[in-house]
Structure 1
Amino acid sequence: MSWVLWLAVTFSYYAFFSWLPTLLIARGFTITHSFGFSIAICVAQIPGYFSAGFCNEYSGRKTTIVTYLGAAVISAASMALVSSSTGILIAGILLSFFMNGTFAGVYAYTPEIFPTALRATGMGSASAIGRIGAIAAPLLIGVLYPKAGLAGVFGMTALILLFGALSILVFGPSTVNRSLEEIESTY
Structure 2
Amino acid sequence: MTRLIRLNKPHGVLSQFTDKGTAGSGRPTLSGLVDVPGVYPAGRLDRDSEGLLLLTDDGRLQARIAEPKRKMEKTYLVQVEGLPDAAALTALTKGVTLKDGPARALRAKLVPEPDWLWPRNPPIRVRPSIPDCWLEVVLNEGRNRQVRRMTAAVGHPTLRLIRTQIGPWSLDDLPPGHWADADPSLARRP
- TM-score normalised by structure 1 residue count: 0.26
Structure with higher RCO (Cα < 8 A, 6+ apart): 1
Return the structure number with greater strand share. 2
